[in-house]
């Protein structure tokens, strides 16, 4: 089978790596890919006409959609009458990620445990609510914002500034939410689904903030690890009961065409697990640790979502822990330079995985080409060992102004 992947980040390199190992897969293309992926094809991720043309011309049977945009723009619907299997939800179901308000209403309708929320498109009214909550709340822009539309606030001034920022950026009449602020530990759970059944990958944790101790501005993710030591069978059952099973009931009731991944961002609060958000795709950088921990044949798992065999699919996992440290360009997530040569890539040890993100090939050199440049992923029999291993490897890779967090996986 020939497969094409849409996207160009570390997530897509990890998908490329995993699919390339499948006994069912003959060739994997990446549209447009990066300096680490092979068989790159320079097509825009939202140019559906070109993508379809490419798939027809190259007899692609399976199209794996990495990022959320093409899903929110309806790529699954666009390919409906073609023989290509597109892995992802239809446009209607992608609203679970692309509209925060729609998604909260879905959670409410189906009894999914989540934070209380209030909906606004008017600054004055929202200020009354902010005063009532004494500024202790979370403000979320309704639409897709690449992780930059969420403001976790601790004071009235901070919350009102967040509302002002949303109005400035997205227009005065833009819709947003105010949410009850939850406290607890977070984890990411990724489910493969056929629209009725699901199979879970191992739990992981992202590190969204730029600086150690979860300080500084939010980023696309500075690292991840998996599995999460505090996740046990009891917690799994609770999350399934309170969050995943009601969600699947909703997806089934709404009759969504959903053969893809559903991501649950969960907070474990004193009152039990609550859902922070859905994403309708694999997370980045979570994918860079959860795919290495998956021992099953990846193409087989994906095809199980289409052929009715997912329900009884037996997932197989590694016993190791995996840690991913993101090497970023100095200055990211603000202004940064590109085109520095990355050196030392050949010095990492055999068991370390390098998933490229913002890189490009230039003759036989690899150059920086984005804010998050490279994911360095190591394993270990314990989380501690995996952390030690990954930091030894990070030191071997050099480029001008490289920056990475020193505390990935060390959260208490
Ligand atoms: P989201 O994109 O909705 O997951 O929000 C991004 C991040 O903001 C989450 O990973 C949490 O760390 C934080 N967050 C979102 N909603 C809440 C909430 N209701 N209470 C506390 N933190 C939140
Ligand atoms: N790691 C969070 C996300 O992919 O949205």
What is the separation of C-alpha 269 from the centre of its chain, rounded to a whole number of angstroms?
22
The DSSP code for 322 is: E
SS3 of 271, please? coil
pLDDT of residue 368: 98
Domain limits of the chain? 2-89, 116-180, 185-312, 321-403
Note the CATH architecture for domain 321-403.
Answer: Alpha-Beta Complex (3.90)
Q: Which ligand is nearest to the CA of 141?
A: 1
Tokens (6 digits) for 84: 């290509």
- The residue that leads in pLDDT, 219 or 18, is 18
Judge whether 27 and 19 are in contact, CB under 8 Å: no
8 Å CB contact between 377 and 351: no
CA of 179 to the centre of ligand 1 (A): 9
- Domain 2-89 is in which class? alpha beta
Average pLDDT over residues 160-184: 89
Distance CA 63, CA 82 (A): 12
Ligand minimally distant from the alpha carbon of residue 68: 2
Global pTM reads 0.96
Nearest alpha carbon, ligand 2 atom 5 = 283
Q: Work out the mean pLDDT of the chain and round it to a whole number.
A: 96
What pLDDT, on the 0 to 100 scale, is given for residue 272? 97
Q: What percent of the chain has pLDDT over 70?
A: 100
Ligand 2 mean position, distance from CA 92 (Å): 20
Mean pLDDT across 111-137:
91
Is the domain covering 185-312 a CATH 3.40.50.2000 domain? no
- The average pLDDT across 165-175 equals 83
Compute the average pLDDT of residues 138-155.
Answer: 86
Q: How far apart are CA 176 and CA 178, in angstroms?
A: 7
Asked whether residue 115 carries a pLDDT value surpassing 90, the answer given is yes
Give pLDDT, residue 198.
98
Question: For ligand 1, atom 6, which residue shows the shortest CA distance?
Answer: 150
Kindly state if the Cβ of 206 falls inside 6 Å of ligand 1: no
Residue 186 Cα to ligand 1 middle (Å): 9
pLDDT of residue 122 exceeding 90: no
Cα 325 to ligand 2 centre (Å): 15
Average pLDDT over residues 250-266: 98
Element (H, E) at 163: helix 156-170
Residue range 245-270: mean pLDDT, rounded? 98
Is 184 close to ligand 1, i.e. is its CB under 6 Å away? Answer: no
Q: What is the domain class of 116-180 according to CATH?
A: alpha beta
Weakest-pLDDT range from 21-35, 143-157, 180-194, 255-269: 143-157
pLDDT in tens, 277-314: 999 999 999 999 999 999 999 999 999 999 999 999 99
pLDDT in tens, 360-373: 999 999 999 999 99
Q: What is the largest CA-CA distance in the chain?
A: 60
Mean pLDDT of 131-160: 89
User: What's the mean pLDDT in 51-60?
Assistant: 98
Ligand 2 residue neighbourhood (C-beta within 6 Å):
147, 206, 221, 279, 283-284, 286
**Does the fold of domain 321-403 match that of domain 185-312?**
no
Taking CA atoms only, the protein residue closest to ligand 2 atom 4 is: 283
Q: In the structure encoding, which two tokens stand for residue 144, read together?
A: 């897709």
410 lines ligand 1 (CB under 6 A): no
pLDDT of residue 124 exceeding 90, the answer is: no
- One DSSP character per residue, 118-187 reads EEES-HHHHHHHHHHTTT-EEEEESS--TT-SEEEESSHHHHHHHHHHHHHHH-TT--EEEEEPP-SEEE
Structure confidence at residue 174 as a pLDDT band (50, 70, 90): confident
Structure tokens at 223: 């690292």
The 10s digit of each residue's pLDDT in 176-193 is 999 999 999 999 999 999
Confidence of residue 147 (pLDDT cuts 50, 70, 90): low
pLDDT of 150 > 80? The answer is yes
Atom in ligand 1 nearest the alpha carbon of residue 114: 19
| pLDDT interval class at 263 (50, 70, 90) | very high
| Digit-coded pLDDT (tens) for 84-104 | 999 999 999 999 999 999 999
Q: Measuring from atom 3 of ligand 2, which residue has the nearest CA?
A: 283
Q: Which of 125-134, 222-231, 357-366 has the lowest mean pLDDT?
A: 125-134
Report residue 170's pLDDT band, with 50, 70 and 90 as the boundaries.
Answer: confident
Average pLDDT in the 45-66 region?
Answer: 98
Instruction: Say if ligand 1 is within 6 A of residue 150 CB.
Output: yes
Ligand 2 centroid – CA 284 distance (Å): 5
């Amino acid at each position: 089978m020939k497969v094409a992947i849409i996207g160009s980040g570390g997530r897509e390199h990890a998908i490329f790596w995993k699919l390339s190992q499948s006994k069912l897969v003959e060739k994997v293309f990446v549209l447009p890919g990066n300096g680490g992926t092979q068989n790159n094809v320079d097509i825009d991720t939202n140019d559906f006409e070109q993508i379809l043309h490419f798939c027809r011309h190259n007899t692609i049977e399976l199209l794996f959609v990495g990022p959320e945009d093409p899903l929110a723009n309806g790529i699954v619907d666009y390919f409906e009458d073609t023989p290509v299997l597109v892995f992802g939800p239809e446009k209607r179901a992608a609203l679970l990620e692309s509209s925060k308000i729609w998604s909260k209403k879905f959670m409410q309708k189906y009894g999914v445990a989540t934070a209380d929320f209030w909906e606004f498109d008017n600054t004055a009214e929202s200020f009354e609510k902010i005063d009532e909550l004494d500024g202790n709340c979370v403000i979320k822009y309704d639409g897709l914002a690449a992780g930059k539309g969420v403001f976790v606030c601790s004071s009235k001034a901070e919350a009102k500034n967040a509302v002002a920022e949303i109005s400035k950026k997205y227009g005065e009449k833009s819709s947003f939410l105010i949410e009850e602020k939850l406290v607890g530990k977070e984890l990411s759970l990724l489910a493969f689904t056929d629209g009725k059944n699901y199979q879970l990958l191992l739990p992981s944790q992202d590190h969204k903030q730029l600086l150690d101790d979860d300080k500084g501005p939010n980023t696309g993710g500075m690292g991840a690890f998996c599995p999460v030591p505090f996740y046990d069978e009891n917690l799994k059952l609770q999350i399934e009961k309170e969050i995943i099973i009601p969600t699947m009931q909703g997806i089934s009731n709404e009759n969504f065409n959903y053969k893809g991944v559903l991501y649950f961002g969960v907070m474990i609060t004193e009152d039990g697990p609550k859902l922070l958000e859905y994403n309708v795709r694999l997370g980045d950088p979570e994918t860079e640790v959860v795919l290495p921990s998956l021992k099953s044949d990846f193409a087989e798992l994906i095809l199980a979502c289409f052929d009715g065999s997912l329900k009884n699919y037996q997932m197989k996992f590694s016993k190791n822990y995996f840690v991913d440290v993101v090497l970023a360009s100095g200055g990211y997530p603000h202004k940064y330079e590109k085109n520095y040569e990355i050196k030392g890539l050949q010095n990492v040890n055999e068991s370390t995985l390098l998933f490229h993100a913002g890189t490009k090939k230039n003759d036989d050199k690899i150059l920086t080409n984005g804010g998050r440049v490279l994911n360095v992923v190591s394993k270990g029999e314990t989380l501690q060992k995996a952390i030690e291993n990954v930091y030894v490897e990070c030191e071997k890779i050099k480029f001008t102004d490289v920056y990475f967090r020193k505390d990935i996986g060390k959260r208490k």
